[in-house]
Amino acid sequence: MSSQIPSFFSNDIVLHVEGIRKVYPNGVIANDNVTLSVFKGEIHAILGENGAGKTTLVNIIAGCIKPDAGEIYVNGKKVNIDNPRTATKLGIGVVHQHFILIPALTVIENIALSLDSGFKLDLNKVREKILQISSLLNLKIDLNARIEELPVGLRQRVEILRVLCQNANILILDEPTSVLTPIEVEEFFRILRNLKEKGCSIILITHKVKEALSISDRITIMRKGKVIKTLTPKETNEEELTLLIIGEKQNSEFISLTEGNNKNKEILLLVNNLNVKGDRGELSVKNVSFSLYSGEILGIAGVAGNGQKELIEALTGLRKPESGTIIIRGENVINKKPKSLIKKGMAYIPEDRIGRGVILTMSIAENAILKIFEENPFSNKTIMNRNSITDYTQKLMKKFGIIAPNPNIEVRALSGGNIQRLIIARELSYNAKILIAENPTAGLDVRATDFTHRMLLDLRSKGMGILLVSADLDELLKLSDRILVMYNGKIMKEFNRNEYDIYKIARLMLGIEV
Amino acid sequence: MIELIVSLIAITLQTSTPLLLASIGECIVERGGILNLGIEGAMLIGAFTGFIGAYFTKNLLIGLLSSIIGGIIIVLIFGFLVIKMNLDQVISALAINLLSYGICIYFFRMIFSQGSFPYLSELFSPIPIPFLSEIPIIGAILFNQTIFVYIALIIIPILHYLMFKTRYGLSLRAIGENPSIAYRLGINVSEIRYIALIIEGALVGMAGGAICLSMFNVFDTRITAAKGFIAVSIVILGRWNPIGVLGGALLFGFAEALSLWVGTLIIGPISASISQLLSILPYLVTIIALLIGGRKAKGPASLGASFSRE
Amino acid sequence: MSSLKLLGLYRALFAIILTFLITSIFFIMSNTNPILAYYYIFVGAFGNINLIIETFVRATPILIISLGLAISFRCKVWNIGAEGQLYMGAMLGTITAIVLGESYFTFPIAFIMSLIGGALWASIPAFMKSKLGINEVITTFLMNFISINFIQWLLAFPFKSPETLFPESDRIPNSSILPILIPYTRMHLGIIIAFLLILPLIHFIITKTTFGFKLKAIGENPEAARYAGIDVEKILFLALVISGALAGMAGFIEVAGIQFRMRPTISPGYGYTGIVIALLGQNNPIGIALASIFIAAIINGSSTMSRMLNQPQGIVDFIQGLLIIFVLASDYILKYMSRRGLIKL
């Protein structure tokens, strides 16, 4: 078979993968006989749901993961990409979903890191090279700024500049628009078209159908590790692509927001003129005021790093605010420790499930009672009661569908979805009235996302007040009764559900006054 | 009076030197994200191997060389524990310190029988630099010192250059901030860290050698007396910067020199009492300095964290 | 016994075997039969009832210290200042006993003061750790030098006993001396206090109380513990202070049971030996009890062995250094060996 392939190549094919297969140790078949070609100077979208195997494919081409089977051809030659360096040498540049930038170093230092040169660090040479490329593409950036000072959109620009400085002519971008606001996306597409004109080939990994249709020359659809079809935007449309992506349609999977119970609303949380400092001593939350009612989901929209983290930490007692008031049911709880806030009925589902949400090396039971171990019957404040803890956890596992042999299993043996269930189960264990959900579906698969969304809506209908802080605008639009837009530490505007306007919200997220 | 002050400054340079050598080495390693609290032990080993080398060859330069080698070996063992085995850096350092102590106390008595008191017949003597050493006052302070002082002073700009003006230094700083990103960028994290550890081992071993071969002429397991830990404190207070480290080392060297110097000034029955009490001065100064200056110190982001490729 | 605890036992045994193998090489190099050497170590530690008692006498202070260290190590507070805390506790206890003179209250008050002495000394680095975030390894270690040098000065000058030529305190009153339980031995009440009171108490605290649970949660993931409402700073502070108190107690029990005077030599590095024991016993009180008897046996036995075979005294410290390295490295070495097909796990 492989002997036929060279004849298959025209000069225009810069990258060709043939029969790629990858099975992970847990048995998941991430890539199954994946074959596709990329032409010179085209934008080729790879479209599929989360878990369709797109990122695995990228990592294989980038040399980060070894495939179990299959071949890769670059410019007609069979190559063995066993590490990222080889990929770079072959002219393959990858912009990963999570940037590989060092926050404390400057733009120029970050780019210099991945360029080969001698013992001495010649930053002037690096600067020349960057300026040459950036002026060609009309990309402006302050080379001496530290990465941590830059917004996400600009960080992505640094990543692109970096791979171009490495002389990449095949660019692979993994979900590049997921961190961008709609307005930044337009600017980003301009850059892509520019690159294409200069002869670069671009592989765009995305799960957004509209995006693929609007920018790409060809679209390859992946589902469950397999390539389903490759077509051009002209010969297809949104509905067809959607169908190809999901496979058999399942109507029952959709959820819609019912009108909340607007009567008998009670203010659960009242925040007034809150100011909070960030890690580096800068004011990250500026004069923020809002109120959260019972039975509503209040969304907070914003690009990551605009003060949401600090706001959440102030509300949960993890960070000391500078000034302002936080009133929970009539009592000012500013400067209270996490424990007294928990007692006041504040629950919190953190984004960082592994680092903050659970203790991996402790058992399911120990994690389940982590917030209530000083309550009866789990202890008498001093001495723990193991039996009642085990009984309780068994019931909890049944109720929330946490699958594990027994409650004494360490949490690190659980899947991501099960860990999320455990966290939700625990946060609902102490009759909290207020729930702060921080990017609750980040990194979860479709089923776990759906479970989480349903859970939030269920809690809303039971009268809980939910503060949903999310970087995913679609999620916010779907679930929230109201949306506050946060930019640069400030609340820019409040939208009621009937006023939602994705472009208006997006402009505000970028700090462009409307 | 001037003579006394000159002598105080000269002693300060001498007492600062082991601290400076060790803390500049620690500074490099910490910039790469490794917290090596095991330099106390490495310094002791350096003093030990330096003493043995000099004693048996009657050659101080061979003593210096063997202290460097001893330091490198111990720091590399530490490196193997934390890089290859990916063990906790703090406990590994504690283990290294205890092991070094055990090695010195056991092998010293294995080599020299119980009850014997071996000593070196000569120490590194000051090398006056022609002309410069004749400058009044500062000549005697700066340009009439032992080889260790000169090495320490030359090494500062060299390592500053290494850290900030070379690709190696940039990679090292990147690793210290985030080793997994550095790894994904194709930087060989282990190799860069091992190189930093070798540099540190050489410097810390030399620091031990400086104590044994230029200050005392005998070996004792109490000879380092927490100088390794003071060196780590200096790195914190010097904010992980070679220039800051120089300042810190001089400050603590001064505290130590002062405790020795005041002891020589006081005569009479009270002098023994005072000089014994003064021996706590360097430690007290370090604790107080950490209390004041250690508060807002922010080191490399991944300092002390373990990193594995999996 | 759960498989996890068994694993800890294997780890410790594996480290002990490796250590003995390495030391054997050095015995052979110095023309000593290693089997004979280990035989003398064993005989020196357990050869007769008196020697067994002496091993327990030795194990007592290091057991108390390492039980305290286990508490701080459990929440990853690396207290290496037990040596200084021991001296502070012993000194304060001794001064109190001497000041109070003969009375019923002398022992209990002096005993409590020794706890307070160790606790207060540990509270300085504990404050710096929990409030200012300053690395406790550095501060606790540096404070050992302040403590020991200061106490040497106290014993050489203000508190020097006029009766002797050495830098040591007056003899503590008889009523503060721990009674001997078996005549003509040094089997004092402190041994019982350590093994039958402190050991079960610390075991209970670690395994059964909410405080023990908090220690573990913080040790495994401080960020998650803080988020779950545990007052992390307070627990870190307490853990270090408690370990200091126990080190202080160990010091005073040594004075009241063995030395009867405060001396600058009451501890030949027990504070550091405690670290080895806590790690060898994997912070588990039962493991620590076994480890402290084991180390005490090595200390006592090797002094017999050194005498009989003309070996250098420092072998004990060398063995401890190797032990701690191999305990840490055991997981890696075992995995490496099983990868190479040398053993089956």
Residues A111 and A132: their CA atoms lie apart, in Å, by 14
More confidently predicted of A264 and A165: A165
Residues A18 and A16: their CA atoms lie apart, in Å, by 7
Contacts of residue B269 in chain C, CB cutoff 8 Å? Answer: none
Q: How does the average pLDDT of chain A come out, rounded?
A: 87
Predicted model pTM:
0.89
**Domains of chain C with CATH codes:** 49-335 (1.10.3470)
For B281, which residue in chain C has the nearest alpha carbon? C146
Bridge-partner residues for B58, per DSSP? none
A402: number of Cβ within 10 Å: 22
* C110 three-class SS: helix
As a whole-number percent, the residues of chain C with pLDDT over 70 amount to 98
Q: How does the average pLDDT of chain B come out, rounded?
A: 91
Q: What is the pLDDT of residue A472?
A: 79
Average of pLDDT values for C234-240? Answer: 97
First-to-last C-alpha distance (Å) of chain C? 18
Question: Which residue intervals of B166-241 are DSSP H helices?
Answer: 167-177, 179-184, 189-210, 227-237
Which chains lie within 8 Å of chain A at 3 or more CB pairs, if any? B, C
Is C210's CB within 8 Å of A383's CB? Answer: yes
Helix axes A446-461, A416-427, angle to 10 degrees: 10
As a whole-number percent, the residues of chain B with pLDDT over 90 amount to 68
pLDDT in tens, A48-73: 876 788 889 999 999 888 999 999 99
First-to-last C-alpha distance (Å) of chain B? 64
Tell me the shortest Cα–Cα distance from C99 to chain A, in angstroms: 37
Buried b (16+ CB within 10 A) or exposed e, A31-47: bbebebbbbbbbbbbbb
**pLDDT of A4 above 50:** no
What ipTM does this complex have? 0.91
Bridge-partner residues for A49, per DSSP? none
Cβ partners under 8 Å of residue B4, min gap 6: B261, B265
Closest CA to B11 of B146, B208, B172, B183: B146
Is B167's CB within 8 Å of A64's CB? Answer: no
DSSP state letter for C168: -
Question: Which residue intervals of A470-514 are DSSP H helices?
Answer: 473-479, 502-509
Q: What is the pLDDT of residue B53?
A: 96
Place of tokens 């020199």: B257
In this structure, of A34-43, A114-123, C195-204, the range with the lowest mean pLDDT score is A114-123
> To probe the interface with C, which of B78, B89, B91, B234 has the most C CB atoms within 10 Å?
B91
Contacts of residue B102 in chain C, CB cutoff 8 Å? Answer: 314, 317-322
More confidently predicted of A208 and B213: B213
Q: What is the pLDDT of residue C5?
A: 57
The reply to whether CATH 3.40.50.300 applies to domain A268-509 is: yes
Greatest Cα-to-Cα distance within chain A, rounded to the nearest angstrom: 78
Asked if residues C149 and B279 have their Cβ atoms less than 8 Å apart, the reply is yes
Asked if residues A353 and A329 have their Cβ atoms less than 8 Å apart, the reply is no
Helix axes C136-156, C106-132, angle to 10 degrees: 140
Residues A427 and B13: their CA atoms lie apart, in Å, by 60
Is C227's CB within 8 Å of A374's CB? Answer: no
Place of tokens 């939700």: A424
Whether A121 and chain B come into contact, CB under 8 Å, resolves to yes
What are the Cα distances from residue A260, in Å, to A257, A293, A468, A479? 8, 11, 16, 11
As a whole-number percent, the residues of chain C with pLDDT over 90 amount to 88
Query: Position B111: which residue type?
Result: I
Bridge-partner residues for A298, per DSSP? A467, A482
Asked if residues A220 and A227 have their Cβ atoms less than 8 Å apart, the reply is yes
**How far from the centroid of its chain's Cα atoms is residue C252's Cα?**
13
**pLDDT of B144 above 90:** no
Sign of torsion, CA B159 B161 B166 B170?
Answer: positive
**pLDDT of A248 above 70:** no
Backbone angles phi, psi at A348, to 5 degrees: -150, 120
What is the Cβ-side half-sphere exposure of residue C327, based on CA atoms within 13 angstroms? Answer: 28
Backbone angles phi, psi at B305, to 5 degrees: -80, 150
Place of tokens 């090494």: B155
Closest CA to A392 of A358, A367, A359, A424: A367
> To probe the interface with B, which of C317, C333, C335 has the most B CB atoms within 10 Å?
C317
Cβ partners under 8 Å of residue C6, min gap 6: none
Determine the CATH number of domain A5-245.
3.40.50.300
Residues A206 and B247: their CA atoms lie apart, in Å, by 54
**pLDDT of A356 above 80:** yes
E strands present in chain B? 127-128, 144-145
For A369, which residue in chain C has the nearest alpha carbon? C228
Is A104's CB within 8 Å of B301's CB? Answer: yes
A223: number of Cβ within 10 Å: 18
Residues C324 and B240: their CA atoms lie apart, in Å, by 30
- Closest CB to C226 among A338, A360, A366: A338
Contacts of residue A120 in chain B, CB cutoff 8 Å? Answer: 165-167
Whether B225 and chain C come into contact, CB under 8 Å, resolves to yes
Bridge-partner residues for A293, per DSSP? A267
Tell me the shortest Cα–Cα distance from B194 to chain A, in angstroms: 17
Q: What is the pLDDT of residue B259?
A: 86
For C313, which residue in chain B has the nearest alpha carbon? B106
Contacts of residue C140 in chain B, CB cutoff 8 Å? Answer: none
Residues C213 and C31: their CA atoms lie apart, in Å, by 51
What are the Cα distances from residue B39, in Å, to A48, A137, B226, B233, C137? 53, 51, 10, 12, 13
Q: What is the pLDDT of residue A261?
A: 52
Residues B147 and B209: their CA atoms lie apart, in Å, by 11
Q: Where are the domains of chain A?
A: 5-245, 268-509
Q: What is the pLDDT of residue C114?
A: 98
Average of pLDDT values for A141-157? Answer: 87
Whether C42 and chain A come into contact, CB under 8 Å, resolves to no
